[in-house]
Structure 1
Amino acid sequence: MATYATYIRASTDTQETAHQRSAIDDWLSEHDVDTAEVDHYADLGHSGSDPGREQFRELIDAIECSQYETVVVWEISRLARLGSIYQRFFESCEDAGTTVAITDGWVEEVRPDGTGKLIADISAAVAEEERRRLIKRVEAGVARAQEQGKWLGAVPVGFERDADGYLQVVLDPDRDAGKVGYLDVRRAIERVDEGESYRRVARDVPNLARTTLMSIHKDDERRQWYLDGEADDERVDAALDPIEP
C-alpha cells in the first residue's frame, strides 16, 4: 500500500500543471521515495473553493482511513481557497497522523502535532488576499476597456479586433488565415432566408461553419448586425458605421 500521496489542482483544463508536477517529483526524488509508494491525485478545471472536487474528496477519505503518512503538494493554495475546506483537510491530516509537505511555500511541512500550521495559515491568507486584489485589478481593467468601447472576449464572425482593441468589420478576408468576411455572412443569412439549407450555404462560404451560421441565423439580435447593419451594442454599432443595410 502506498504511504505517500501527491495532489495537483488547476482552475482550468488547459492551465499548465508541469511546474507543479516537476516540483513534487523533485521533492520525492530528494527524499528517496519509491514511486511504487506514491498515489497521485489531480483535479483539473476546478476552483480551490469548489468542495465537490472528486479527487480531493477521495484523498481526504483515504487520509481519514490512515492510508498516507505524507501528502505532497506544490503550494497551499492548491489544496483549497475556501477556509472551511482548507481546515477540514488539515484536521483530517492531524487526526490521521499525516504530514503535509509543501514544495513551494513559507513552510516546508505541516506536521500532525501542528508544527508549521500557523505559518501555513498565514501563507494561505496572504495568497487569498493577493488573489482578491488581482481579481479586482482585472475587473477594473475590463471595466475600463468596456467604457472605452473596446471589444473583449471572442470576436464575432465577420469581424476582427484592431491593434487598439476595437471591433472592425472584415470586408476583405484573408481566407488562408481562416477569416470570414462580414458580407459573406450577410449573404449566407439571406440564402438561408430564401430556403437553402445551412449545410449547403456553409459549404459555399470558406471558413464558415454550419453550426456558426445556424447560431447567427437563429439569434435575432445578431441577425440584425448583418442584415440591417446596426446593433444595440455600441461597440458593434460603431464597427458597422461604414456598412450599408
Structure 2
Amino acid sequence: MKAAIYARVSTADQDLDRQLHEARDHLDANYPEVETIDDYADIVSGAKENGGDEYQRLWDAIRAEKYDVVVVHEISRLSRLGPTEIHEFIQHCLEHKTGIESLDVGLSIRVDDPDLQQTIYTMIANIMGDLAKIEHQQKLERINSGIRSAQRAGKWTGRAPRGFYVGDDKRLHVDPEEFLDIRHALERIANGESKRQVAADSGIPRSTLTDLYDNQRGLYMDGEADDDRKDAALNELRPLPKFDADDEDNLDKRIRAIVQDELTN
C-alpha cells in the first residue's frame, strides 16, 4: 500500500515539518499496512498564492493512480487555491481510486466503502466545497469593507493618480512638479499642438495624454475634482487660475509662483 502526504504553508516561518510529522503519525496509527510514504510540501508566498508545484505533482500522481490514500494536514488551506478547490480535489481522488484523510476536519474517505457510504462522503465533499465558496466571499467582503472604511476616513486606497502621491498619512497629496508638467502638456494640446509632439517633449505616453485630456482635463486645467479626497489634495495648490489659451506663458508663471509659495510656507 502506498500513501502520500500533502502539507502547505504560506511562509517559511510556519512549521512545515510539524505538519508532515503529524500526518505520518496518523498513517502509522490508521494504516499499518502502508509500505511507502511520499511527502509533497509547498511553501506558497503571496506572489504564488494561486498554486504550488508540489500540489500539481501530487495531482498528477493521483491521476496516475500511484497512491491508495492521501493525507492532507489541513484541507481547508486548499480553499486558497479557489473557492471550489476542496471539492475538486476530493472528487479527483475518488475518480482515481485514492482515499483521502484530512487531519483538520477529521474527514476520512476510503475507496473500499459501500456505495451508499461513498455517496454520503461525496455529499460531504459538496458541502465543504460550498463552505469554501462562502469563506472566499466573506474574505472578499472583509477586504472591500476595509477599503470602503478607509475611503470614508479620507484615505486613498490603490494607486495615486498622475500628479499626486499617497503620503505617510495614507492621504492623497499633490506632487507640484508632476502636476504642473501634466497641466502644461494638456494646455499645449488645448492650444492645438499634436499629442504626438507633446508626448515626445513631456515624456508622458501619448495614450496617457489622450486619456487625461479626454477624461480628466478639468482636474488638471481647472482644479475641478470629482472626488473629495482629490479636492482636498488640490487645496495645496489653490487658488488655481482658470486656463486661458491666450495667456499660456503668464498662466504657467503664476501657477509656479503659487507652488513656490506653498512650498516655502
Does TM, scored on the shorter chain, surpass 0.5?
yes
Tell me the distance in 2 between the aligned counterparts of 1:60 and 1:154: 38
Using a 3 Å threshold, how does the CA distance of structure 1 residues 29 and 148 change in structure 2: closer, same or farther?
closer
Counterparts of 1:1-245 in structure 2 under 5 Å? Answer: 4=4, 6=6, 17-19=10-12, 23=16, 27=19, 31=24, 44=48, 46=50, 60=59, 62-71=61-70, 73=72, 75-80=74-79, 82=83, 86-100=86-100, 105-107=104-106, 111-112=110-111, 131-171=136-176, 181-191=178-188, 194-195=193-194, 196-202=197-203, 210-211=204-205, 214-219=206-211, 220-241=214-235, 242-244=238-240, 245=242
Tell me the distance in 2 between the aligned counterparts of 1:147 and 1:37: 51
Preserved CA contact (<8 Å) 1:70 1:98: yes
What's the % identity of the aligned pairs? Answer: 31
Tell me the distance in 2 between the aligned counterparts of 1:55 and 1:190: 56
User: What are the Cα deviations for residues 36-73 of structure 1, in whole angstroms up to 9, with x where unaligned?
Assistant: 956788994549xxxxx999788656524413345465
Preserved CA contact (<8 Å) 1:107 1:119: no
Tell me the distance in 2 between the aligned counterparts of 1:56 and 1:181: 47
What's the RMSD between the two structures over aligned residues?
4.8
Q: How many residues are treated as equivalent by the alignment?
A: 210
User: What are the Cα deviations for residues 175-214 of structure 1, in whole angstroms up to 9, with x where unaligned?
Assistant: xxxxx63213222444566343424322xxxxxxx44xx3
Tell me the distance in 2 between the aligned counterparts of 1:141 and 1:132: 14
User: What are the Cα deviations for residues 88-122 of structure 1, in whole angstroms up to 9, with x where unaligned?
Assistant: 4323323534244657x34487654589x799988
Preserved CA contact (<8 Å) 2:83 2:133: no
Query: 5+ unaligned residues in a row in structure 1: which ranges?
Result: 9-15, 48-52, 172-179, 203-209
Query: 5+ unaligned residues in a row in structure 2: which ranges?
Result: 26-36, 243-265
Describe the SS at the equivalent of 1:231.
coil
Q: Which amino acid aligns with 2:166?
A: R
Q: CA deviation at 1:4?
A: 4.0
Describe the SS at the equivalent of 1:77.
helix
TM-score (norm 2): 0.54
Tell me the distance in 2 between the aligned counterparts of 1:40 and 1:149: 43
Using a 3 Å threshold, how does the CA distance of structure 1 residues 55 and 200 change in structure 2: closer, same or farther?
farther
Q: Which amino acid aligns with 2:183?
A: R
Q: Which amino acid aligns with 1:181?
A: E
Describe the SS at the equivalent of 1:230.
coil
Equivalent position of 1:175 in the other structure: none
Tell me the distance in 2 between the aligned counterparts of 1:134 and 1:37: 33
Structure with more helix by fraction: 2
Describe the SS at the equivalent of 1:140.
helix
User: What are the Cα deviations for residues 214-242 of structure 1, in whole angstroms up to 9, with x where unaligned?
Assistant: 34311122233212221223332332242
Preserved CA contact (<8 Å) 1:6 1:73: yes
Using a 3 Å threshold, how does the CA distance of structure 1 residues 111 and 187 change in structure 2: closer, same or farther?
farther
Using a 3 Å threshold, how does the CA distance of structure 1 residues 188 and 147 change in structure 2: closer, same or farther?
same
Preserved CA contact (<8 Å) 1:3 1:69: yes
Using a 3 Å threshold, how does the CA distance of structure 1 residues 7 and 189 change in structure 2: closer, same or farther?
farther
Tell me the distance in 2 between the aligned counterparts of 1:40 and 1:94: 21
